[in-house]
Amino acid sequence: MTTATTTTRDTKVFDLIAKEQHRQESGIELIASENFVSPQVMEAAGSVLTNKYAEGLPGKRYYGGCEVVDQIEQLAIDRIKELFGASWANVQPHSGAQANTAVFLACLQPGDTILGFDLSHGGHLTHGSPVNISGKYFRPTFYGVEKETGVINYDVVEETAKRERPKLLICGASAYSRDWDYVRLRAIADEVGALLLADISHPAGLIAKGLLNDPLEHCHIVTTTTHKTLRGPRGGLIMMRNDFENPFGIKTPKGDVRLMSSLLDSGVFPGTQGGPLEHVIAAKAVAFGEALSDDFYDYAVQVKANAQAMAKAFVDRGYQIISGGTDNHLMLIDLRSKGLTGKLAENTLIKADITINKNMVPFDDKSPMVTSGMRVGTAAMTTRGMKESDMEQIVVYIDRVLMNHDNESELATVKEEINEWMKAFPLYA
C-alpha cells in the first residue's frame, strides 16, 4: 500500500519550486509587499502542524488533540501583544483581507457607511473598493491626497466624515509613503461617532520598533498582514490595545454587553473562516519572536534609511515621487515625466531581473492595467543585507533599464550584471 511517506517525489512541482528559489536569489526584489522569511519561519510553515484541525480558540476548541497547538497559538498571541503593546490579539486571519473582513462583520451591518483611503490614491481594495466585499456589502466613501502635495489633508478628511457620517473610518494604505496622524483621525472619528480602524499591513514592522507613529494608542482596532515589514509568513492578524464595550449594544446570549474582542473573535471564526492554519500560526510565532529582538530593530532602521536613500537617488535622476519622499519603506513614482507607463516599466525591468509592480498614481489618466506609476520598497533587499549605497546602485540599474527599454542587448547586459551582483547577498546559503 502506498502512503504519504512512500509516494514518489513530485519532481514537476519541486523542480518549479527550485526555479522560483533561483529567481528570488538571482534578482532584485522591490515589490513593497514582499519580503524574505528566515529558514526557521519556513520550517515552521512546512511542519506537521499542517495536519491539525483546530476550529475555535486556545482552550476553546471544537476538536480534540489541540493541547500542543493551543500552546503554539497562545505563544504567537503573547509575542505579538508584547511586540505592539496590545492587550488583545487574534492571530488566525489567513490574510490582511480576511482580517479586515472580520472587522467589518463584527462592527457593521450591510449598507453601513465606511470612509476609507481611495484605492487610486494609494489605498487598498479592502477599504471600500467597489470590486471588493467592502464596497459591495457596505456604502463606501473616500478621502484622498492633495493633487499639489501628494499628501493627505486631514481637514478634508474631517469635512468628508462630517458629510458622510461613516460608522467606520479606515486609515492605512498600500502605496502611501507618509506617516499617519492617528491623533487627528481619532478626533475626527469621535466627532462623527465612528470606530477608527488602522490597517498597518505595510509599515507594521517599523511601527513595532517605534520608528513610526503608534496607531494602537489612538485607534479602536488595528489590523495588519504578517509578511511585509514584519518579515513573517503570509497571513494577517487583528489587535487592540484597549478592549471596550461595543458601541452597538450587541449582547451575549446571557444578556451581557459583548466586548469588542469577543465580537472580533466571532468575526474571524465562525464569521469568515473555519479552521485556522496552525502551521502558519507557528511560523507567525517564530517571526514575532524574531521581531522582538534587537537585531530586528537594526533591520527596521536600515529599511527606513534605505528607502530614504533610494528616494533621493530617484529624485536626483529626475523621477517624481508622490509626496516628494518617504517616511516608511516604500515610494510611489509617477513615470509620466519620463514618458513611460507603469506597465512598460514592470515588463521591462523584469527582463533585467528587477521586480517591481505597476501602480496607479493619484489623479491617474491611465487604466489600472496600464497605470502611470510604479511602486517600490526596500524591505526585501534590506533583508539580504543591502545598505544605502546599494540602493543608489539599484536606482542606477533601474534608470539604465528604463532609458533603454527598447534595447534588448542592453537589458541582457544589465541582467548579467545584476545576477553576478546578487551573489554577494546570499539569501539562503
Model confidence pLDDT, tens digit, residues 175-188: 999 999 999 999 99
Is 327 labeled as catalytic in the residue annotation?
no
Classify domain 294-423 at the CATH class level: alpha beta
Distance CA 67, CA 75 (A): 13
pLDDT per position as a tens digit, 312-355: 999 999 999 999 999 999 999 999 999 999 999 999 999 999 99
What does the pLDDT look like over 281-299, one tens digit per residue?
A: 999 999 999 999 999 999 9
Residue 245's pLDDT band (boundaries 50, 70, 90)? confident
**What pLDDT score was predicted for residue 291?**
98
Q: Alpha-carbon distance 395 to 312, whole Å?
A: 10
Largest CA distance in the chain: 73
Task: For residue 54, give the C-alpha cell.
Answer: 483546530
pTM for this one? 0.95
Percent helix / strand / coil, the chain, rounded to 5: 45, 15, 40
Q: Can you name the residues that pair with 113 across neighbouring β-strands?
A: 139
Three cell numbers at 265? Answer: 473573535
DSSP secondary structure letter of residue 56: E
- State yes or no: pLDDT of 63 exceeds 60: yes
Sheet of 330-334: strand order equals 320-321, 330-334, 373-377, 357-359
List residues bridging with 374 in a β-sheet: 333, 358
What whole-number percentage of the chain has pLDDT above 90? Answer: 95
Using an 8 Å Cβ cutoff, are 115 and 193 in contact? Answer: no
Report, as an integer, the average pLDDT of 385-398: 98
Q: Which of the following is catalytic: 55, 70, 388, 410?
A: 55
CA dist., res. 19 & res. 347, Å (int): 19
Residue 55 pLDDT > 90: yes
pLDDT at 250: 66
**How does DSSP assign 24-72, residue by residue?**
HHHSEE--TT-----HHHHHHHTSGGGG----EETTEESSS--HHHHHH
Catalytic position from the list 29, 73, 164, 199: 199
The per-residue pLDDT for range 129-162, each reduced to its tens digit, is 999 999 999 999 999 999 999 999 999 999 999 9
Distances from the Cα of 376 to the Cα of 108, 179, 302, 336, angstroms: 34, 17, 16, 16
78 is catalytic: no
Catalytic residue among 167, 234, 258, 304: 234
Nearest 5°: phi and psi at 107?
-105, -20
CB of 323 within 8 A of CB of 148? Answer: no
Check whether 75 is labelled as a binding-site residue: no
pLDDT value at 280 more than 70: yes
Q: Which residue has the cell 503608534?
A: 214
Q: Is 194 helix (H, G, I), strand (E, B) or coil?
A: coil
Q: What is the pLDDT of residue 246?
A: 78
Rounded Cα gap, residues 75 and 70, in angstroms: 8
Q: Catalytic residue at 228?
A: yes
| DSSP tag of 358 | E
Question: Given this model, what pLDDT does residue 226 score?
Answer: 98
Residue intervals of the chain classified under CATH 3.90.1150.10 are: 294-423
What pLDDT score was predicted for residue 335? 98
Q: Is the pLDDT of residue 37 over 80?
A: yes
| Contact between residue 370 and residue 358 where contact means Cβ atoms under 8 Å apart | yes
234 catalytically annotated = yes
Give residue 258's pLDDT. Answer: 79
Q: How far apart are CA 310 and CA 390, in angstroms?
A: 9
> Residue 125 annotated as binding?
yes
Q: What CATH architecture is 44-292?
A: 3-Layer(aba) Sandwich (3.40)
Domain with CATH 3.40.640.10 in the chain: 44-292
Q: Are 104 and 116 in contact (CB under 8 A)?
A: no
> Is 119 flagged in the annotation as binding?
yes
Catalytic residue among 228, 284, 304, 375: 228
Indicate if 397 belongs to the active site: no
Q: Would you say residue 252 has pLDDT above 80?
A: no
Give yes or no for a contact between 344 and 370, defined as CB atoms under 8 angstroms apart: no
Instruction: Calculate the average pLDDT of the chain.
Output: 96
Candidate list 141, 223, 225, 378, residue with the active-site label: 225
The pLDDT assigned to 84 comes to: 98
Measured distance CA(418)–CA(196) in Å, rounded: 44
What is the C-alpha separation between 121 and 137, in angstroms, rounded?
22
Residue type for position 380: A
Residue 55 annotated as catalytic: yes
Residue 402 is labelled as binding a ligand: no
CA dist 171 → 39, 165, 197, 260 (Å):
33, 16, 6, 19
Per-residue pLDDT tens over the stretch 1-11: 456 666 799 99
Grid coordinates in use for 193?
461617532
In sequence order, the β-bridge partners of residue 354 are 28
